Amino acid sequence: MKRLIYIIVLLFSLGCANNTSKSMEMDAAESFEKVEVQSDLSEDDAYTLIITQKLQEYLDKKTLAKTNPDFTIDTNKNEFLSAKEGAQLKHINFITPFETVSDSVKKVTTQVVLEHQTDTIITLIKTSIITIDNKVFKTHKIEFEKAEGVQN
């Protein structure tokens, strides 16, 4: 009989613990939306953040592929930076103004400043608008190309 009471108390405790974590997750999601709405970033600043994140992700994948051969990340197919293993991104600068290639594509020449070197690449920003559950979202896809004929 004591075992049954202990099991019931244990299940009840676990059930209550799960409910509080769900409500905490919802509060966090709501506060994220509020922060996102209050953001007053300029378009250039927003693109700078996105491009910086994508470049750091590329450098991290490149380092991971060299240090862990178990991972099959193909970073050589799109070799646009002459970065050495373990290079860290310091910052980026836009060399040229944004050039509109089409309705949904913008192009900019970007200077990438790493720890011990500087590179120049072409950044393509592809924008699309999607609708999910009657809500309109604007998405951005970032692609990089090697800058031909530009001095580093």
Question: 128 lies in which domain range?
Answer: 40-146
pTM, rounded to two decimals: 0.63
The letter for the amino acid at 127 is: T
User: Over the stretch 32-66, which tens digit does the pLDDT of each residue have?
Assistant: 333 344 457 788 888 899 999 998 888 888 888 77
Q: How many domains does the chain have?
A: 1
- Is residue 12 assigned to a domain? no
- Is residue 92 assigned to a domain? yes
- Is residue 5 assigned to a domain? no
Question: Do the Cβ atoms of 110 and 123 come closer than 8 Å?
Answer: yes
- Is residue 7 assigned to a domain? no
User: Over the stretch 82-130, which tens digit does the pLDDT of each residue have?
Assistant: 666 667 888 899 999 999 999 899 999 999 888 888 889 999 999 999 9
User: Over the stretch 4-39, which tens digit does the pLDDT of each residue have?
Assistant: 777 777 676 766 655 544 444 444 444 333 334 445
What is the pLDDT, as a whole number, of residue 106? Answer: 93
Buried b (16+ CB within 10 A) or exposed e, 54-78: bbeebbeebbebeeeeeeeeebeee
Q: Tell me the three state secondary structure of residue 123.
A: strand
